[in-house]
Structure 1
Amino acid sequence: MNGQGSLVEKLEFIDAKRTKKSFIEKFIGMKQGMALDSAQMERDILRLKRLPSVANAYYLVAQTENGNYEVQYVLNENFTLIPFANLFSSSNDDFAFRVGLQEFNAFGRNITLGAFYQLDVYNSYGFAIRAPYLFTNNFGIAFNYNNFSTLEPVFLSSGTAEYRYGNTGVELLGLYEFDLKNRMELGFSFFVEDYEYLSGATNPQVPLNLNVDKHLFKLIFDHDGLDYFYYYVEGFRSLLNFQYVGSSDVNLPQFFIGFNDFTYYKRIGNRGNWANRLRLGLASNVNSPFAPFTVDNNLNIRGVGNTIDRGTGAIVLNTEYRHTLLERNSFVLQGNIFLDGGTWRNPGGDFNDFLDADNLRIYPGLGFRVMHKRIFNAIFRVDYGYGITPDAANGIVFGIGQYF
């Protein structure tokens, strides 16, 4: 179907009800009047399936009487106005939650509008706008505002202190897609960080109160080779996040931080999906109790607790097997068995810290997912992780969406 003499006489979008057809026309590469090109249509379908508004897509081709072709892109659309909730609990009786609402296809143009409220001892909130195809079919922007306030443990040589941590700021990013697999985000943010001592250990070298103006420059490079069939995923993805954080106070010094998430997914038979994530991260090795990498339930190790340690480097591997137990129309029940493991470099430490047994956490566990195939990211998950390394905790982690 690559013959240059055969043209696309008619191009239609079937079942595009919530997504504007004018957006799809701008988004795809195939145009009416072009030569029929099956490779281009395959690329279009893959891009469409990656949109939040599209659950699945395929194309149909029919020959017209005059030897040209009529092409139909058939879309199975998602419902995209989605509430979300994340709840965290552990055997240490930590408890926190985040709730919010997101529209992933605002104005029918796959613009994401979202807002959240979080209770993690204190109140936090924020909102975000993400329009990756605002200007062209590969160039857009994103804007975020956050006002965080949490109770944070700070790990000192004399023991652990409790601080009230605040972070208020804005972020602006430019979003650009180079091709089907490669995209980049580049931008900056301005924010204020403050720490207020509440209780616990103290150290003469660590202030009881801090209020610091900071700025951040961010580069994200995403190589995405994933393919989707509803909730099944297959392929490889590499996501690099590099940041420079500048500061107006030597107690919270400037630093660089970079981490790369390598993810690999493999279909196993008709009902299985093997999922893997490897995170490699390093930051400037400042000997500070406010190190940027954290060990946390909702980020990397299920069951470990809420922010139980910090470091200036991280190696984390998450692997799990997901199996569909029941599928009825659009309802899906999926079970999973997982193993989360990681190790960290201590602030001011060296690379041997990664081999230190005291820094190693290994958590096997079980969970399940309740999903809806036609509502974007409508995946309610529950995981229970049980630590098998010394002095380990155990706990339940709730959330919306797959863990990775």
Structure 2
Amino acid sequence: MVRRILLFFILILNGVFSQAQEGTVLNVEIQGAKRTKTSFLKKLITLKPGMVLDSVLLEQDIARLQRLPSVSHAYYQVFSSDANEHNVFYNVEENFTLIPFANLFSSSNDAFAFRVGLQEFNFLGRDINIGGFYQYDVFNSFGVAVRAPHLFSRTTGLSFSYNDFTTQEPVFFDGTTADYRYNNRGFEVMGLHEFNFKNRIEFGGSLFTEDYRYISGATNDIVPRALKVDKHLIKLIYNYENIKYYFYLLDGFRSTLNFQYVGSTNENLPEFLIGFNDFVYFKRVGDKGNWANRLRVGLASNVNTPFAPFTVDNNLNIRGVGNTIDRGTGAIVFNTEYRHTLIEKNWFVLQSNVFIDGGSWRNPGGGFSDFSDKQNIRIYPGVGLRFMHKRIFNAIFRIDYGYGITKDASRGLVFGIGQYF
């Protein structure tokens, strides 16, 4: 009995001693922040004065800071006193965040098209993203957006966007194609909330109008030549992220679920449900390599309509396939690529890229067997280059060349800003 009592006190004293060894945090400071408000950064980190020094929280705070568009890199330093009290310093290296951008591409009829814009990713020094764009793609388009993920608190914010988007879109029916002038005009409001470091949610909706106007091509008595429909949308996005950032190199896993209900006032564009999930996995390979993978699985209400929601497109899923060459009510797409650093200077990085994009679609009104139909499967290997600025957020100019190896495949160059995924 005496031995048990002694053992009990020894265990208690050992726990107290261990806690004393960890010590308490005397002060927490942010260093290196110039454009970003230090008060804002202190609000984001979880380690506070008076808490027990915790290496897990330190690493989590660094990962949180590195996710910010305004921060290119972050690390911590701990200075301890003889009294086992600690001064913690978070050191940040900032990005330049006022970014003009320009994107050149070919339109649906192979004409010259471009998008230009300006975006500030750290407005007021508080991680507020505000920007706008103008696009010419046969027709004129523009949009503005504001995203403030920490507007109301450390974990809760809001986003708003307005778009007046007009393009020339192919519509597929009865094995033929027609070109339509498509306009989408409306606004969206989303509430943003972070449950914890790895889990976030967005919930909201939009009101918009879709306007289709026939231009040329095949016709059908069932397919209207003019259609203008008021719609409403309810959207839920759930994001899980466990990725470690080291400048432009990534390591870890992310899953993003996007679920939407789209209501309509016209039976020609009926209401539908759509959901898709992006599974993304990054793996660092040595000091210069990065293996990146994305799997997208999506389904929508299987309505037999030429205006199906999932598209096969250069800029979305299959590099080299062309611009909006097909549509479907279901999609399975897999992208894998190996990025390798060829040149790295103080601010400049040149990356090479070898990739394989592949996917299949369910035809409108079709069955799940459509995914295995050779007519719907597309596989495009290719190569590319990335030109990066390490101190400017998302300053990555990419160029890829995709070459189709499946039936009736095409080939082509794809330009863009930022990594493909």
With normalisation by structure 2, the TM-score equals 0.94
Task: Choose 92-101 or 7-16, whichever is displaced more.
Answer: 92-101
Query: Could you say which residue in structure 2 is the equivalent of 1:36?
Result: 53
**1:143 aligned residue:** 160
SS at match of 2:19: coil
1:353 matched residue in structure 2:
370
Contact 1:92 1:393 in 2 (8 A): no
Contact 2:239–2:255 under 8 Å retained in 1: yes
CA distance in 2, matches of 1:185, 1:152: 29
Tell me which residue corresponds to 1:23. Answer: 40
Q: Which residue of 2 aligns with 1:105?
A: 122
Q: What is residue 178 of structure 2 aligned with on the other side? A: 161
- Measured on the aligned residues, the alpha-carbon RMSD in Å equals 1.5
Contact 2:108 2:170 in 1 (8 A): no
Question: Larger deviation: 6-15 or 349-358?
Answer: 6-15
Aligned partners of 1:298, 1:166: CA distance in 2, in Å?
Answer: 19
Match of 1:306 among 287, 310, 323: 323
Instruction: Write out per-residue CA displacement over residues 49-103 of structure 1, whole angstroms, 9 at most, x where no aligned residue.
Output: 0010111111100013543111100001111111122322499735432221110
**4+ runs deviating over 4 angstroms:** none
**Deviation, structure 1 residue 110:** 0.4
List aligned pairs for 1:162-201, cutoff 5 A: 162-201=179-218
Letter of the aligned partner of 2:356 in structure 1?
Answer: L
| Offset at residue 2 of structure 1 (A) | 8.1
What is the identity percentage for the equivalent residue pairs of Structure 1 and Structure 2?
66
CA distance in structure 1 between the partners assigned to 2:214 and 2:107 by the alignment:
24
Structure-1 residue corresponding to 2:291: 274
Q: How does 1:109-124 map to 2 (within 5 A)?
A: 109-124=126-141
Matches of 1:93 and 1:193 in 2, distance apart?
24
Contact 1:324 1:335 in 2 (8 A): yes
Q: Which of 283, 288, 292 pairs up with 2:305?
A: 288
SS of the residue corresponding to residue 397 of structure 2 reads strand
1:362 aligned counterpart, secondary structure? strand
State the distance in 1 between where 2:84 and 2:317 align.
56
Structure 1: distance between partners of 2:298 and 2:18: 45
Match of 1:3? 19
Deviates more, 1:66-75 or 1:338-347: 66-75
Give the match's secondary structure for 2:119.
strand
Q: 1:91 to 1:259 in 2, by over 3 A?
A: closer
In the TM superposition, 1:196-215 aligns within 5 A as: 196-215=213-232
Matched, 1:263 2:275: no
Once residues 327 and 148 of structure 2 are traced to their aligned partners in structure 1, the CA distance between those partners, rounded to angstroms, is: 34
Give 1:13 shift: 0.6
Q: Secondary structure at the match of 1:358?
A: coil
- 8 Å Cα contact 2:212/2:228 also seen in 1: yes
2:146 corresponds to: 129
Letter of the 1:199 partner, please give it: S
What is the aligned residue count?
Answer: 404
2:407 and 2:172 map into 1 onto residues whose CA distance is 19
Retained in 1: the 8 A contact 2:25–2:48?
A: yes
Q: Which position in structure 1 is the counterpart of 2:245?
A: 228
Q: Is the 8 A contact 1:92 1:305 kept in 2?
A: no
Q: Deviation at 1:355?
A: 0.5
Change (3 A) 1:59 1:248: same
**Residue pair 1:240, 1:260 contacting (<8 A) in 2 also:** yes
Unaligned runs of 5+ in 2: 1-16
